[in-house]
Amino acid sequence: MTKPKLDRQVAGIVDFQLKCLVAELKGARLARGLTQQEVADACGIHQGTLSFIETGRQDPSVRVLLVLAHYFDMPVTLWTGDPQ
C-alpha cells in the first residue's frame, strides 16, 4: 500500500515552516557570535552539513534539529506551536 502524497498547499506550508526553523537556528548561532565550525564541533555534525542546512541546500534530519535545539536551549515546542 502506497502512502498518499501531500497536497501542494501542505507541502508548501511544511517547506515554509522548515525555512523558519532553520532561520531561527542560524539567527541563534549568529547572535552568539559562533562560527558554523564551532557549532558543528559542539553538536557532532560536519560543518558542511550545517552550511548546507543554513543555505537551504539540505533539509536537516529530525536528529540534527533536536541536537541544534538542545545546543541553543530552544524548546522544540516553539516550532510546533504546542503551548506546553
What pLDDT, in 10s, does the model give residues 52-63?
A: 999 999 999 999
Residue 19 lies in a domain: no
Determine the structural domain holding residue 49 and report its residue range. Answer: 32-75
Average pLDDT value for the chain? 88
Give the pLDDT confidence score for residue 83 in this predicted structure. 46
Residue 59 belongs to some domain of the structure: yes
- Asked whether residue 13 is assigned to any structural domain, the reply reads no
What total number of domains does the chain contain?
A: 1
* CB-facing half-sphere around the CA of 76: CA atoms within 13 A: 8
Report yes or no on 55 lying in a domain.
yes
| Residue 66 covered by a domain | yes
Q: How far apart are CA 25 and CA 72, in angstroms?
A: 8
